[in-house]
Every structure is written in structure tokens, then in C-alpha cells.
Structure 1
Amino acid sequence: MTDTAKKTPANTSAAPGPLADPLDLLDLSSLLGEEERAIQRTVRELLADRVRPHIGSWFERGHFPRDLVPELGRLGLLGMHLEGYGCAGTSATAYGLACLELEAADSGLRSFVSVQGSLSMYSIRRYGSAEQRQQWLPRLAAGEAIGCFGLTEPDFGSDPANMRTRAVQQGGAGGDWILNGAKMWITNGGIADVATVWAGTEDGIRGFLVPRGTPGFSTRDIENKQSLRASVTSELVFEEVRLPDAARLPEARGLGAPLSCLNEARFGILFGAVGAARDCLQTALEYAGQRVQFGRPISAFQLTQRKLAGMAVSLNTAMLLALHLGRLKDAGRIRPEQVSAGKLNNVRQAIEIARECRTILGANGVSLDYSPIRHANNLESVLTYEGTEEIHTLVVGQALTGQSAYR
């Protein structure tokens, strides 16, 4: 063997220097365009100034910063992936990156933006009339109004086809509708100016817009939550609520309509979970470099490095998956089971990272002075809403086998 053949990168190259960004182990930022980086940077800077100094207190007090909503609107974050009516019309990937930054601050903020844009506004944009779009979308995009999305019921979460909320039309075509029923675990419900509500009718499931103040429509905020505390979660109650036919979403027919809205929200979640995981890992990495035991920082110990390395690999692979799905969505080629696979994987990885980071912080890990315990608590809700882990497993399973296992 010649001397040249013996040479390998391992014995000819100097040891690499430290990573420019330790959290970007695979240099995934190089896959982003300049506009995408600018959007991500702008959202991160707003949150650093307006949210991060207060989020621990907000979570502890169960406070949602409603005064922040117009700022989110001015920044173009509300319905940012939609077009027209004051919406920014960005790419799906850019929207995902904004969700990532929002959830890196707190899942409650990302949940607000997801519900406002991907559920409330998307349902109106996709299934509403021209009049409904003009009435609500500009105000919702500006943060002058807040929307919510009523699908889940007290007894029917994963099985919305059997919802009990009913709407009965009086006097034939064009007549008023009488709405009765209840919805549960509704983000933004107690502060929403308009609710997109799904109800069973003689012609199947239909959607309706119910403004706050409509007689018979009331809300009750859910208290004593240990998750998503910086977010409003409510029950919606409808007792003989009379709605004109103009309140019906004319293009929404069947269960596929609300499920398509949920798929939009799930897309934002699979990016958001990466943000929560990143914030936890950043906190743990900084803490491990400063916490000294046995005369050296704990980041110098093998067991700590094993934890950090494993989490960095999981974080970066989750981010790579999110970016790939973002590109598929921008190309118009994404499939529901791919979104399910993304949410299933990324939320699972994020919650494991949050829990592992808490162990690196030791006793300090249970304090709201550090983010991992807050993210871990929030991710327990993210694991459940917009489709439980079990439901997304069955979505992927059906795509693989062609067999439905829901019953």
C-alpha cells in the first residue's frame, strides 16, 4: 500500500473547530432561503423582546397575553400562509418556521396562532362565502378579532363523526338554523369573537359561523390545567341558538371539511414541536456548561454528553423531516398520512427531549426559571390534540396496509 493510499481524512485533517450553531448539528439552516431566514429571525426577535421575559410568570398565573394579538397581526403571522384579505401569503415552509419560533417560546402562543390561522381563518377562506370572507378575514388577519374552531365534544374527540351537536333548519331552504350542543377543549374559545362550529344536520356535517353575543351561545373557560396554561381553553355551549342561513359555510359538506382544517393545523404542530425541543436543548446545553460538579462542568462528563448528543441527533432529524414536509406542501404534493407521520414523530421526539433535558438540570429542572418542565407539560397537550398519538399511528397504518383499524 502506498503512502498516498494510507492517507484518510482522519489522519490528514486537523480536528474541526466548534460548531457555529451547536443546535444546528447538520447545518440545516443552509437549506433555507433568505426570506425564510428573515421571517424566522423576525419572529424570534419579537418573542425575545415581548414574550420570553414574562412567559414563566404567564404560565404560572394561567395568563394569555391578549394585548400581544394585534402585534402578531401587524407582523403578518395570523393566517400568514393564506392569500388575500390582508393575509401575507407566505410559503408553507415559512409558516412552519414561524410556528417553530412561536413554540420555542411557548406552545400556548403557537396554539393561538395555529387556531387563528389554520383552523378559524382557513375554514372561512376555504369553505366560506365571499361575504363571510370579507366580513371576518381582514379583521382576523389584523388581530382585531379572534377566532376559534369547535369540533371536539365532551364525549367525542377522536370520533367526531358521531358528534351530538345538531343544527336543524326551519322553513326549508334558506330558513334559519337552530343549533344545540356543546364543544370542549376549544383553544381561544373564551376570547373568540367568532366560532367555526361543526354540527350534524339531515344532510351530514356542516359548518357554521357563530359570533360572540349570539343569544344562546355561551363559553366557560377550563381551569386547573397543568398544560398550555398561557392559553385560553374553553367549553362552548349552544342552547337553541338561532342562526341565519348566511351563517352556514356554504362549501363545507361532510366530515372531510373539518378534517382538512385539522390537517392544516397539524402541519404547524410538526414544526412547532421542533421549536419546543430546540429551546429545551439550548437551555440544557447552556446549563451543563455552567454547572460545576467534582471540579468540572457537567458537560465534560461522558453520561451528560451521551444525553446531549442523542438529543441533538433527534432534534436535527425532526427538523429535517419538518423541512422536507414543508417542501412537499409548497409543491402541492403532501398527503395526510405524511402530516400524521410528521406530527407523530416530531411530538414524540420533542417530549422525550424535554424530559431528558429536565434531568440534566437536576432539581432546577422542576423550576419555571428554566423552560424544560414548562415545555414538557405543554407537550403533553400537543401529544393529544389535533389527533392523538394512537390516531396518527392508525392513519399511517392504514396508508401502509390499506386496512382501516378504527373499528
Structure 2
Amino acid sequence: MPNTFTKIKQVIGLLKHIDFDQLTKISQKVDLAKIMDGFSKLDDNQLKGLMKMMEGKGKKRELPPINADFYELSERLNTEDRALQLKVREFMEKEVKPLVNRYWLHDEFPFELIPKFGELGLAGITYEGYGCPNRSFLMEGILAMEMARVDASIATFFGVQSGLSMGSIYLCGSEEQKQEWLPQMNKMEKIGAFGLTEPEVGSGAAGGLTTTCKKTETGWVLNGQKKWIGNATFADLIIIWARDIDDGEVKGFILRKGTPGFEVEKIKGKMALRIVQNGLITLKDCVIDEKDRMPLANSFKDTANVLRMTRAGVAWMAVGCARGAYESALDYTRKRKQFGKPIASFQLIQNHLVEMLSNLTAMQTLVFRLSEIQDAGELKDEHASLAKVFCSLRTRDIVSQAREVMGGNGILLEHDVARFVADAEAIYSYEGTKEINSLIVGRAITGMSAFV
């Protein structure tokens, strides 16, 4: 009997915040004596479970933060680098994210962001001197991820400026060219582009460039076309790679905006990276002064050095695109309710989310190690190519599952994932297709070249 009274007393304690009027209304609907008798027959474990349930009723459940860095790789950064990562994340969330869907939809570029990027001073992040930050390749990759996590188009714009364009001058240019261009490009006062791909020459650029250059008394005369050149419609300078008619070697030039014989047409109708302003460049007897020929760009091997340096950044962009899609999908599933509860509580949805996180975590650990190899000066073509192949493939899987868990809403631009789905297709192809990068890795592991 004492035990029964104790139990009833405990239950009454749970009901202490119920006032008399409420208790009267309850007694009109149920037999309180019968309920109390039932309480007295509960064992200790049952009663504890009941008390826990009643005490927790009405409390808002605290959900874990949305964080795709599941293995906490950011913890390996020093304090300064971690602060920079968070600074760029805040910039992308506050300055870029509110704009991107509108500009993406209308196939336009948000030029108002360029001065704000300039204030960050991050272009040419790995270069020493010329106003550049001289940070690690790891940080370059992490910042590429942070940008692509919000929008792959903006990350691509920055990659063309900081990596391909500035990188060509940094690796292949003269000291005078570096002094003239790199400080201004770091501040985004001058915008660059990179002209390698042609209408009929993409993967075969190493031996098949049709754009030509010839040395004359007045300078170098260039003829040909370049296609898919990001930033080309508004760039102040464009790096042009052309084959020398006299010796057959590939040479690099800095083409200044407004040079006679240079024309550019915006490529329209893209389904991906719509913010990036890609151009079709036509060069007709375009004369470039000898001072604008990059003296250390004398073969395609020099071009390849630039591509090798930047290809790792593309793998990081793929990770960012996938991360943005995963985090958007996770947030959506925790808010979207069906059958009276969030769909994130359903087993099949959780299975999709775990598969996405598994692929994403594998991608993150791979590119983290890739950048460590690059910082050690040991990066090889096959290292960058393997990362590009794996990450761009897995990004496709992740964005597809992100769209799937969002149902019909997944195709609406307002939820962001539709943009990630489309942009993943462009990342899958540029800076070397899956097939070409696979052949680079295949050659490294077999010792046999399968290229044509």
C-alpha cells in the first residue's frame, strides 16, 4: 500500500500545474478513480517512462545543427585559416545567396559583387607577392568549396579570375606582366579570362589547337576562335593560347580588351552555370604586341602546368556544389511535414540523407589530402585527375538524391537544389571530362597510354 500511495503521489506531482477548472473538465470526460487505480498498478520502469513522457511534453526538441563536415576536417585548420573560411562563408551567405537565383534565372552576372570580392583580397590566394595572400593550396580549395556551396557560378567566376587567368601570368608571364596585372586582378580592378577551348577542340587541345599565331614585324598575328570562355564578355584581359605557325608549339598571350580584330559573342541558352558569362571569341588578324606574349609559355606543357594547378580547385568546387545540395535537402526534410510529422523522420528519407553524407564525406577527405599533396609540391596530373573524376561523379549522385527527397519542390529554383542539379552537369565536364581524366589516371597506374 505505501508503494501505491507513493506512485499516485508521483503522478499527482506531474499534474500539479493543472488548475481546478481544468481538472473538473477532465473528470467529466474520464473516470479519474479508474485512471488513478491504473497508475497504482504500473511497475517502476513503466511509471518512470510515463513521467518522462509527461515532463517532456510541450518541450521543443533541439535538432542538431546542419553541418556537412561530418568528420570535422575544419578542426585541422589553424585559427587564422578557420577564421578566413568562416569569413568567406558569411560573405557568401549574406552578399551572394540573396542574389543568385534571380541572376541565374535571367542569365545575367551580378556586377555589383565584384568590388565586394575585391575587398576580400583573395584572388591569387596561393601566389607570393604582387599583393596576393600567399596562402596554402588547402585554403584555396576550402574557399572554392565555400563559394560553390552557395553558388557554383560564382565559384567558377572566381576560379577563372584567380586560378586560370592570374595563374597563367604568375607561372608564364614576365616580371613586368606580373607587376602590371596581378595587383589589379587581386583587387578585382581588372577581370581576366582564359581562352583555351575551341568550337571543335576541347579534350584534344594538347595537339589540336586550330587558333594560330605568327610573328611579324608589327607583333604577333592571331587568327581563330575560342569557345566557352568564362568572363569573356566583360574581361579586361584574356589569356589566349595559340599554335605558332612557324614552330608548331603552343604559345600564350595577354589579349587586352578592345584590341582590333577581337570579337566576342555571348553564349546563350545554357542550362547550367547561367551566371557565368561564357563567350565565343573570334580573332581575325588580331595583332598582339611582343610585350604581351608570355615569355614562359612556349609549349602545351606550360599550359598543362596551369591546368594542373587549377584542376584540384575544380574538385573542391564539386564538393561545394554537393555540400550545398545536401545541406539544403537536409534542412528541407526537417521542415517539410507529411502524415503529421517531418519527412526527415521517415526511414527511406534518412537512408537517402546518409548515402548523400557518405559520398560527401569521402569527397571531402579525398580533396583535403589532395591539397596536402599539392602544398608539399608533390602534385601529379593523375592526383588531380582522380579527384576530378570521383568528385564530379559523386556530386551528380548527391544532387540527384537531394532533388529526390524534396519531391516536386526539388525542381523549384526557390529551394536552390534545382540550381545545384543543373550546375553539377557543367562541373562534370569542364577542366577535363571524366573520360580524359580517367585516361590520365589509367596511364599512371598501368604504364600504358590509351590516348589516341
Please name the residue that 1:112 is paired with.
157
C-alpha distance in structure 1 between counterparts of 2:448 and 2:405, whole Å: 43
Farther-moved stretch of structure 1 (284-293 vs 391-400): 284-293
Which SS does the other structure have where 1:246 is aligned?
Answer: helix
CA distance in 2, matches of 1:251, 1:317: 38
Secondary structure (helix, strand or coil) at the match of 2:223 reads: strand
**How do 1:292-303 residues align onto structure 2 when only pairs under 5 Å count?**
292-303=337-348
Q: Which amino acid aligns with 1:309?
A: V
2:232 maps to a residue whose letter is G
AA partner of residue 236 (structure 2): D
Q: Which of 204, 219, 224 pairs up with 1:181? A: 224
Query: Could you say what secondary structure the match of 2:414 adopts?
Result: coil
The Cα offsets for residues 203-246 of structure 1, whole Å up to 9 and x where unpaired, read as 31100111011100111110111110111100111100112211
Secondary structure class of the residue paired with 2:392? helix
Residue aligned with 2:202, SS: coil
CA drift at 1:24: 2.4
Query: Is contact 1:266-1:343 (8 Å) kept?
Result: yes
Correspondent of 2:388 among 324, 343, 368: 343
Report the CA distance shift for 1:275/1:384 in structure 2 as closer, same or farther (over 3 A). Answer: same
Q: Distance in 1 between matches of 2:297 and 2:406?
A: 49
Q: Using the TM superposition, give the Cα deviation of residue 405 of structure 1 relative to its aligned residue in structure 2, in angstroms.
A: 0.9
1:306 paired residue number:
351
Aligned mates of 1:95, 1:42 — CA distance in 2: 14
Contact 1:270 1:322 in 2 (8 A): yes
Does structure 2 conserve the Cα–Cα contact (< 8 Å) formed by 1:36 and 1:97? no
The secondary structure found in structure 2 opposite 1:51 is: helix
The 1-side partners of 2:75 and 2:130 are apart by 33
Match in the other structure for 1:46: 91
Decide which of 185, 189, 200 is 1:144's aligned counterpart. 189
**Deviations 1:351-391 (CA, angstroms, capped at 9, x unpaired):** 21011100111010000011111011111111111100111
- In 1, Cα distance between equivalents of 2:125 and 2:371: 14
Residue 208 (structure 2) aligns with: 162
Please, which of 332, 336, 346 is the counterpart of residue 291 of structure 1? 336
* 2-structure distance, mates of 1:363, 1:299: 16
The equivalent position to 1:227 in structure 2, one of 272, 275, 281, is 272
Structure showing greater Rg: 2
Deviation, structure 1 residue 301 = 1.1
Aligned match of 1:193: 236
Partners of 1:25 and 1:251 lie apart in 2 by 43
State the partner residue of 2:401: 356
Task: Give the whole-Å Cα distance in 2 for the aligned partners of 1:76 and 1:349.
Answer: 32
What is the aligned residue count?
A: 388
* Structure 2, unaligned runs of 5 or more: 1-61
Alpha-carbon shift at residue 135 of structure 1 (Å): 1.3
2:116 corresponds in structure 1 to 71
Three-state SS of the structure 1 residue aligned to 2:141 is: helix
Q: Which residue of 1 aligns with 2:438?
A: 393
Aligned residues: CA RMSD: 1.4
Q: Which residue is 2:29 aligned to?
A: none
Q: Larger relative contact order (C-alpha < 8 A, sep ≥ 6)?
A: 1
CA distance in 1, matches of 2:183, 2:167: 13
Report sequence identity in percent. 36
Q: Which amino acid aligns with 2:365?
A: L
- Tell me whether 1:270 sits opposite 2:312 in the alignment: no
Question: Unpaired segments of 5 or more residues in structure 1?
Answer: 1-16
Within-5 A mapping of 1:191-270? 191-201=234-244, 202-203=246-247, 204-270=249-315
* 1:20 Cα offset (Å): 5.6
CA offsets, 1:250-275, max 9 Å, x none? 01111111121112221111111111
How big is the shift at 1:27?
Answer: 2.4
TM-score after normalising by structure 1: 0.93
CA contact (8 A) 1:77 1:113 kept: no
Matching residue of 1:6: none
Letter aligned with residue 149 of structure 2: A
Q: TM-score, normalised by structure 2?
A: 0.84
- Contact 2:132 2:183 (8 Å CA) reproduced: yes
Counterpart amino acid of residue 117 in structure 2: L
Task: Name the residue aligned to 2:360.
Answer: 315
Residue of 370, 379, 387 corresponding to 1:334: 379
Separation of aligned partners in 2, 1:146 and 1:362: 40
SS of the residue 1:328 aligns to = helix
Aligned counterparts of 2:165 and 2:199: Cα–Cα separation in 1: 20
Q: CA deviation at 1:52?
A: 0.7
Is 1:30 aligned to 2:75, yes or no? yes
Measured at CA, do residues 104 and 61 of structure 1 come closer, stay the same or move farther in structure 2, by a change above 3 Å?
Answer: same
Partner of 1:13: none
Q: Given residue 214 of structure 2, which amino acid in structure 1 is its aligned partner?
A: V
Structure 1, residues 93-141: CA drift from partner, whole Å, max 9, x if none? 1111110011011111111111111111111111111111111111111
* Inter-partner Cα distance in structure 1 for 2:340 and 2:64: 25
Distance 1:86 1:73 in 2: 12
Deviations 1:282-335 (A, max 9, x none): 111111111111222111111111100111111111111111111111111121
Is residue 103 from structure 1 mapped to residue 148 from structure 2 by the alignment?
yes
